[in-house]
Chains A and B, each alone.
Chain A
Amino acid sequence: MRSRTLAKRRAALAAAAVLPLLLSACSAGSLGSSSGDGSATTIKLLVDNAPDNLQAAKQLAKDFQAENPKIRVSVETRPGGTDGDNLIKTRLQTGSMADVFSYNTGSLFQQIDPTKNLAPITRDPYVKRLDKSFLPQVTVGDQTYGVPFGSALGGGVLYNKKVYAKLGLTVPKTWAQFIANSKKIKAAGIAPVIQTYQDTWTSQLLVLGDFHNVAAAEPDFAEKFTANKAKFATDANAAKGFAYLEQIHDLKLQNPDYASATLVKGLQMLATGRGAQYPMLSTVIGAIKTSNPDQLDDIGFFALPGDDAAANGLTAWFPNAFYVPKSTTGDKLTAVRKFLAFTASPTGCTSQAKASTPTGPYLVEGCTLPSDVPAITKDVAAYFTHDAQSPALEFLSPVKGPSLEQICVQVGSGITGAKSGAALYDKDVRKQAQQLGLPGW
């Protein structure tokens, strides 16, 4: 008796709860069809909150919607850096990822377990338009998972062209020339090498940006490194990046406030000529454009020089990519594929270039750079045109130690020497390799 009344009451409750849902569903449907876009699909796009990327994503969404009035793209943001990594991993794991999202290519891409979490797009026609240097960065086994969002970028040295002209310097092709230039700049009372350790990540460029030189001297380094057969501390070529950091500190070539300076401050120093050279990624163009728009074209770019002038070339970083999680299905998946096709097309490139300044070439067939790009972009693109570039180590090997930035700060501040810094990094790297379950570690 008691249980039967309970059941009845429960049924009534359930009906009461569902009724408004039904009603609202009805009204939404009828409203939709009366206004004429009842079949509109909304897809959610998740990008990081860096202003350049956000602007480009919004512009892409806008131009895509203009071409496809039946699809709406709503742009959501996430934090960048490691917080963003954890957010991406959590949302993928809980199946709550947006319909399409941007994330790093290369080693970080391997860490989100693409085969388990992402929908492959290998057979889609637009994949054929992607640059062949880019494809391995978004491919696991024989499946491809992403299209590039943004342009490639270079890691090297940003330099103030006015300072160089005033002191009669030429772009260095070897590290010895770089040091010689720096000494002359120091004699002129200008900070030769800008370092900004308040933003720790900026300290890594002398190590990471040197990889073209490592690869030129030792083409199989990345392979041996991944297989635990080459170490930064013991490999003569790889150890040089750390030695460079030690050297600029020992020769006092850094700006005096290197320990407390920030990226923004460093860029201002460079733009105003208080500093002459800044080892950096070309991705900071947007930031210079915001802080010192009038001086943007005073700044040029050269690849970090090594020992061999003949092998001089650029260490290249690949852009982020758009990926589709497995949780996207049905109409949304069709819509997302259209969006990816649009992104990986010349119109898509133009759309992105409208909203954010390209930092290097776009890696899609048929895309060209606008003629009014800043000098930095032209300098970076020239290395690609002359094919004098190789990808950074993080695009050739899934192994990248998370503490490199702190270790570089230590070496660059003279807290530890180059040798022990490199050895410390090797230990850091081991953890990452074990976490990834790579053989041989």
Chain B
Amino acid sequence: MTTVVPTGPPAAEQPKLATRTRRSAQTHSPYPTWFYLPAAVIYGTLFLVPTFASFYFSLTRWTVFRSTFIGLDNFTEFFQEPALVKGFVNTFLYAVATSGLKVVLGLLLGILLTSQIRARGYLRSVVFFPVLVSTVGVGITFTALMDPSTGAINSALSAVGINGPGWLTDPSLALFSVALVDVWKGVGLATVIYIAGIVSIPQDYYEAARIDGAGPWQLFRNVILPLSWPATSTVIVLSLIGGLRSFDLIWAMTRGGPGFSSDVVASVIYKQYQAGFYGLSTAGNVILFLVVTAIIVPLSRFLALKEVER
């Protein structure tokens, strides 16, 4: 009987849930209810409270020292933010471009690295290596490499007579350049997922297809592509989420510049925070949370559905 007493406060907050757990604890959980308390306290103070506090603070003008309730003004302000519209467009471009390239390159590399080639193990680890390097480090390195006048890339291009562009300083190229670096850094993970997917396809399918007279293209089109679908959907979801909330690489390389031309939603939010507009940046995070959820939940449902149909 006494063991139930500590659950008093949570029971007061969420009576329905608490009764349900208590009943299930009595029936078949091997642990007493208080056993869950430490985890619940940690989860509550570090995740639940901040999350709900952030919903509240997104409705205030907040200076750290004091907050004034202003209703939905932050949200209207945020949607009027000149950089935000561009930020949204850029975010989608970036997410689609990086995840598309990762799927294509990852699949091709996956096929290459599951075939019978020399030094396969070594090549596999080489492809995966950039994943292990710190993103900011990669960003700083590529900023140096992509410098229009002194960078290695343009020096190499000028050696063969091409006048290289300002990769990160040309407003129409900057985002694309960062996306390429993101692909270079992230394609290793996609490749590993594809390798696992392709290796798990039973040999019987290949044999059956070959007996039916299928060439290499038909093998790829009708065996590898459909049967590695779980890998494809994993890569798409992972890299799309990564692309939508991408921030570190962009910040390390361009800080959203030149001007606002490579700003994404996350960097717009960060800049509001830097400027001390804490309420506004919290509102931005709430928006980002809703947008990412609105895209990823239906997408992963859809991808899972296709998987079952196979």
Q: Which of B168, B259, B273 contacts A413 (CB 8 A)?
A: B259
Is B46 interfacial (CB-CB < 8 Å)?
no
Q: Which of A93, A403, A432, A434 contacts B65 (CB 8 A)?
A: A93
Residues of A within 8 A of B65 (CB): 89, 92-93, 112-113, 116-117
Residue in B63, B168, B280 with the greatest tally of chain A CB atoms within 10 Å: B63
Is A51 interfacial (CB-CB < 8 Å)?
no
A260 and B63 form a contact (CB under 8 A): no
Q: Which residue of A lies closest to B277 (CB)?
A: A435
Q: Which residue of A lies closest to B82 (CB)?
A: A424
Q: Give Cα A413–Cα B169 distance, bound, in whole angstroms.
A: 9
A260 and B82 form a contact (CB under 8 A): no
Is A416 interfacial (CB-CB < 8 Å)?
yes
Number of A-B pairs, beta carbon distance below 8 Å: 91
User: Which size bracket describes the interface of B in this complex?
Assistant: 20 to 34
A413 and B171 form a contact (CB under 8 A): yes
Interface size on A, residues (CB 8 A): 35
B276 and A260 form a contact (CB under 8 A): no
**Residues of chain B from 29 to 70 with CB closer than 8 A to chain A in the complex:** 61, 63-66, 68
Is A86 interfacial (CB-CB < 8 Å)?
yes
A435 and B276 form a contact (CB under 8 A): yes
Is B198 interfacial (CB-CB < 8 Å)?
no
**Residues of chain A from 349 to 405 with CB closer than 8 A to chain B in the complex:** 402-403
Is B269 interfacial (CB-CB < 8 Å)?
no
Q: Which of B61, B147, B170 contacts A434 (CB 8 A)?
A: B61
A197 and B258 form a contact (CB under 8 A): yes
CB distance from A291 to the nearest CB of B (A): 17
A197 and B257 form a contact (CB under 8 A): yes
Residues of A within 8 A of B259 (CB): 406-407, 409-410, 413, 415-416
Is B210 interfacial (CB-CB < 8 Å)?
no
Q: Give Cα A260–Cα B169 distance, bound, in whole angstroms.
A: 6
Is A85 interfacial (CB-CB < 8 Å)?
yes
Q: Give Cα A134–Cα B56 distance, bound, in whole angstroms.
A: 40
Q: Give Cα A198–Cα B149 distance, bound, in whole angstroms.
A: 13
Is B256 interfacial (CB-CB < 8 Å)?
yes
**Residues of chain B from 266 to 288 with CB closer than 8 A to chain A in the complex:** 271, 273-277, 280
Residues of B within 8 A of A256 (CB): 149
Q: Which residue of A lies closest to B61 (CB)?
A: A435
Q: Which residue of A lies closest to B168 (CB)?
A: A260
Q: Give Cα A113–Cα B77 distance, bound, in whole angstroms.
A: 24
Could you list 11 A-B pairs, sorted by A, with CB under 8 Å?
A: A83-B274, A86-B273, A113-B65, A113-B66, A117-B65, A256-B149, A402-B274, A403-B275, A406-B257, A409-B259, A431-B277
B residues within 8 Å of A by Cβ?
61, 63-66, 68, 77, 80, 82-83, 147-149, 166, 168-171, 255-261, 271, 273-277, 280
Contacts beyond the supplied A200-B257, A434-B77: 16 A-B pairs with Cβ under 8 Å: A82-B274, A85-B274, A89-B63, A113-B63, A200-B255, A259-B166, A259-B258, A406-B256, A406-B259, A409-B259, A413-B169, A413-B171, A424-B82, A432-B275, A435-B63, A437-B61
A residues within 8 Å of B by Cβ?
82-83, 85-86, 89-90, 92-93, 111-113, 116-117, 197, 200, 256-257, 259-260, 402-403, 406-407, 409-410, 413, 415-416, 424, 427, 431-432, 434-435, 437
